[in-house]
């Protein structure tokens, strides 16, 4: 309790900012190894797409020298016959890792997706060289077809709804969030004082952004039930039938509970938007979907209402690449809502976008996102850098080429599962085992664990005597273990979020033991106090 005053200073911070203080404390003892399971940066990388990326770069430079070759200078590659030359290059370098992957990717692009070979390869070659502005600026032409196939495969379980999803390639999921909030505001789809629903617990920026002066939104919690494997009760989803709720933002699978939305809840949401709430905007952040077999995004069941956000960062170990997409089906309620806005608002938007289109009133929402991402005036230089788009394509092919055996997926899932099981075993509690669990994170409710071990009276004392962040504070200070404060994600107070992505199996055994040891120390303090 001695640190209560100092803890109060940090309690209002985002858990991601609090984490920096915890790291400082955990690393203060040079004789002790710090275990940081706070941030969810994976400690693995997908290798084959990266081998292919660097090999493709070599081919691209060879192609550039065929056009112009002067000291330190080459030309921009020509497209005619470049597909065949890539296949020859792969055969001539068959001993190099990545060559077969490139050849197989070419075959999939041309035979399965029906792309024109030279067009596909020159897009990849120009892209990896970065010798042109991104054209089209929203996403490269062939790249969009490949990314769409990837999303159909992974986010829709190979069963996409009717229609075509338009894609905007962006700088990771965080950029997607920023762009979406801004464009919804600029196009009067959300306005100050409007009510939006958040599926909680949730990634903390979704809690923090709506209340900023930029937006001034009112937040309604749609709370998962911890007692029902972190699923949404019907009574919570019924809140979405309120017409004053403009939008529903959800992370699926959730962060931090790491569970995907159950089929029954998906069906209920689908029925809601088809009947009572045809105007409900849904934003679904599905970055962890590939960790759940048979995963289906809300975009699958409510395509006309949904904005899909996906990031390649976690599954492929690529957080430094900043690779993400925004997907919106062409036939969507958002475009129809914009067209139906009052005249004064449509006039305002006309003025906003008239410099980039002769028909600014009919610009689709996905293209408004692109323009707004560069303050409209810089729309002509918008778009994700082309080498990043090439890397996304190769990551996508990792999954598309492996869609039968899923060898890569099984390896990644096994990594997090082994860590998950080691953690729970060392805490000596049963690990939830359900198909909907992504296991990328897990939430441990410390008061609930305390009650199970030491009784309700102890829990009442623990919660009244200490600040909610005291447990993560002392884990860092006394045990050298950094975890996230679950309360900052709107999870139960004094719960902890454990990332299962960034340490090794034995480390999670140590973390579990540290949690149990610290809880026992609180209990000893309570017993000594004579309560």
* pLDDT tens by residue, 61-70: 999 999 999 9
The DSSP output letter for 201 is: S
- The answer on 61 and 178 residing in a single domain is no
pLDDT for position 530: 74
CATH of the domain at 471: 3.90.1150.10
Please state, in angstroms and rounded to a whole number, the distance separating the CA atoms of residues 415 and 418: 6
- The answer on 187 and 296 residing in a single domain is yes
For residue 372, what are the contacts with CB-CB under 8 A and spacing of at least 6? Answer: 179, 182, 183, 186
Q: Which of 85, 115, 88, 90 is nearest to 101 (CA)?
A: 90
* pLDDT tens by residue, 290-308: 999 999 999 999 999 999 9
- The per-residue pLDDT of the chain, averaged, comes to 95
Res. 338: pLDDT tops 70:
yes
pLDDT for position 104: 98
Please state, in angstroms and rounded to a whole number, the distance separating the CA atoms of residues 458 and 65: 74
- The answer on 334 and 230 residing in a single domain is yes
Q: Which of 302, 519, 530, 503 is nearest to 416 (CA)?
A: 503
The DSSP output letter for 15 is: H
Please state, in angstroms and rounded to a whole number, the distance separating the CA atoms of residues 269 and 262: 11
- Exposure string for 20-32, b = 16+ CB within 10 A, e = fewer: ebbbebbeeeeee
CATH of the domain at 60: 1.10.20.110
Q: Cis link prior to 100 (omega < 30° from 0)?
A: no
Sign, CA torsion 437/438/443/444 = positive
Res. 524: pLDDT tops 80:
yes
pLDDT band at 33 (very low <50, low <70, confident <90, very high): confident
- Residue 331: half-sphere exposure toward Cβ, Cα within 13 Å: 7
With beta carbons less than 8 A apart as the criterion, state whether 494 and 446 touch.
Answer: yes
Please state, in angstroms and rounded to a whole number, the distance separating the CA atoms of residues 392 and 23: 32
Res. 5: pLDDT tops 80:
no
Please state, in angstroms and rounded to a whole number, the distance separating the CA atoms of residues 371 and 349: 12
Three-class SS state of 418: helix
- The answer on 426 and 357 residing in a single domain is no
E strand or H helix at 421: helix 407-427
Distances (CA, A) of 85 to 266, 284, 288: 47, 41, 37
Please state, in angstroms and rounded to a whole number, the distance separating the CA atoms of residues 154 and 395: 12
Q: Which two tokens stand for residue 381?
A: 């230089």
pLDDT band at 29 (very low <50, low <70, confident <90, very high): confident
Q: What are phi and psi of 225, to 5 degrees?
A: -100, 110
CATH of the domain at 259: 3.40.640.10
Q: Looking up tokens 């939104």, which residue turns up?
A: 217
Res. 366: pLDDT tops 90:
yes
* pLDDT tens by residue, 232-269: 999 999 999 999 999 999 999 999 999 999 999 999 99
pLDDT for position 531: 63
With beta carbons less than 8 A apart as the criterion, state whether 287 and 205 touch.
Answer: no
Res. 396: pLDDT tops 60:
yes
Residues in the chain: 531
- The answer on 303 and 234 residing in a single domain is yes
SS3 assignment for 441-505? EEEEEHHHHHHHHHCHHHHHHHHHHCCCCHHHHHHHHHHCEECEEHHHHCCCCCEEEEECCCCCH
With beta carbons less than 8 A apart as the criterion, state whether 147 and 139 touch.
Answer: yes
Number of structural domains (the chain) is 3
**What percent of the chain is predicted at pLDDT more than 90?**
90
* pLDDT tens by residue, 125-143: 999 999 999 999 999 999 9
* pLDDT tens by residue, 422-463: 999 999 998 888 889 999 999 999 999 999 999 999 999 999
DSSP secondary structure letters along 212-224: STTT-PEEEEEE-
Res. 284: pLDDT tops 80:
yes
pLDDT for position 11: 72
Three-class SS state of 254: coil
Domain range for 22: 4-40+407-528
Please state, in angstroms and rounded to a whole number, the distance separating the CA atoms of residues 503 and 43: 7
Strand partners of residue 311: 324
Q: Looking up tokens 């975890």, which residue turns up?
A: 483
pLDDT band at 23 (very low <50, low <70, confident <90, very high): confident
Residue at which a domain ends, from 367, 399, 431: 399
- The answer on 355 and 392 residing in a single domain is yes
Distances (CA, A) of 412 to 35, 317, 323, 483: 21, 10, 19, 22
Residue at which a domain ends, from 337, 366, 399: 399
* pLDDT tens by residue, 406-433: 999 999 999 999 999 999 999 999 888 8
Please state, in angstroms and rounded to a whole number, the distance separating the CA atoms of residues 170 and 396: 15
Strand partners of residue 498: 442
pLDDT for position 2: 43
- The answer on 80 and 36 residing in a single domain is no
> How large is the average pLDDT for residues 169-173?
97
Residue at which a domain ends, from 113, 132, 151: 132
- The answer on 381 and 438 residing in a single domain is no
Strands laid side by side in the 441-445 sheet: 441-445, 495-499, 484-485
- The answer on 29 and 111 residing in a single domain is no
- The answer on 306 and 234 residing in a single domain is yes
Res. 1: pLDDT tops 50:
no
- The answer on 259 and 384 residing in a single domain is yes
Please state, in angstroms and rounded to a whole number, the distance separating the CA atoms of residues 287 and 309: 7
Three-class SS state of 163: coil
With beta carbons less than 8 A apart as the criterion, state whether 312 and 392 touch.
Answer: yes
Distances (CA, A) of 438 to 149, 223, 324, 457: 22, 19, 19, 34
* pLDDT tens by residue, 377-386: 999 999 999 9
- The answer on 245 and 102 residing in a single domain is no
């Amino acid at each position: 309790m001695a640190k209560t005053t100092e803890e109060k200073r940090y309690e209002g911070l985002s858990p991601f900012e609090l984490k920096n203080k915890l790291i400082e404390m955990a690393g203060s003892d040079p004789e002790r190894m710090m275990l940081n399971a706070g941030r969810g940066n994976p400690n693995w990388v997908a290798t084959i797409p990266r081998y292919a990326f660097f090999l493709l770069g070599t081919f691209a430079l060879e192609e550039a020298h065929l056009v112009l070759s002067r000291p330190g200078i080459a030309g921009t590659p020509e497209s005619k016959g470049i597909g065949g030359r890539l296949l020859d290059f792969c055969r001539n370098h068959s001993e190099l890792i990545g060559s077969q992957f490139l050849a197989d990717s070419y075959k999939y692009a041309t035979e399965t997706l029906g792309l024109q070979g030279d067009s596909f390869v020159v897009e990849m070659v120009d892209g990896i060289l970065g010798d042109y502005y991104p054209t089209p600026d929203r996403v490269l032409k062939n790249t969009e077809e490949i990314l769409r196939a990837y999303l159909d495969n992974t986010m829709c379980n190979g069963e996409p709804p009717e229609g075509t999803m338009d894609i905007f390639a962006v700088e990771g999921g965080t950029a997607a969030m920023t762009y979406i909030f801004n464009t919804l505001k600029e196009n009067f789809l959300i306005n100050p004082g409007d009510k939006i629903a958040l599926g909680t617990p949730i990634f903390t920026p979704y809690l923090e952004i709506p209340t900023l002066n930029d937006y001034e939104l009112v937040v309604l919690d749609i709370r998962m039930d911890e007692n029902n494997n972190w699923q949404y009760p019907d009574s919570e989803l019924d809140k979405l039938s309120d017409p004053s709720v403009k939008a529903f933002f959800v992370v699926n699978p959730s962060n931090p509970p790491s569970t995907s939305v159950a089929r029954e809840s998906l069906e209920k949401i689908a029925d809601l938007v088809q009947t009572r709430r045809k105007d409900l905007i849904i934003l679904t952040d599905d970055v962890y979907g590939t960790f759940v077999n048979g995963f289906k995004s809300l975009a699958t069941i409510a395509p006309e209402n949904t904005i899909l956000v996906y990031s390649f960062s976690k599954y492929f170990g690529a957080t430094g690449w900043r690779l993400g997409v925004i997907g919106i089906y062409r036939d969507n309620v958002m475009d129809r809502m914009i067209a139906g806005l009052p005249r004064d608002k449509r006039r305002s938007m006309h003025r906003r976008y008239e410099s980039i289109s002769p028909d600014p009133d009919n610009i689709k929402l996905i293209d408004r996102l692109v323009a707004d991402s560069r303050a409209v005036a810089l729309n002509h230089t918008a778009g994700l850098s082309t080498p990043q788009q090439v890397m996304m394509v190769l990551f996508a092919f990792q999954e598309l080429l492996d869609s039968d055996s899923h060898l890569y997926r099984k390896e990644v899932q096994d990594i997090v599962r082994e860590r998950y099981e080691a953690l729970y075993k060392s805490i000596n509690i049963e690990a939830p085992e359900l198909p909907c669990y992504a296991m990328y994170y897990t939430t441990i409710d410390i008061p609930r664990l305390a009650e199970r071990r030491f009784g309700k009276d102890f829990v009442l004392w623990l919660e009244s005597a200490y600040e909610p962040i005291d447990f993560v504070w002392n884990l860092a200070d006394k045990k050298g273990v950094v975890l996230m404060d679950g309360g900052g994600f709107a999870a139960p107070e004094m719960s902890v979020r454990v990332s299962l992505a960034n340490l090794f199996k034995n480390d999670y055994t140590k973390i579990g033991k540290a949690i149990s040891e610290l809880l026992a120390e609180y209990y000893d303090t309570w017993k000594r106090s004579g309560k």
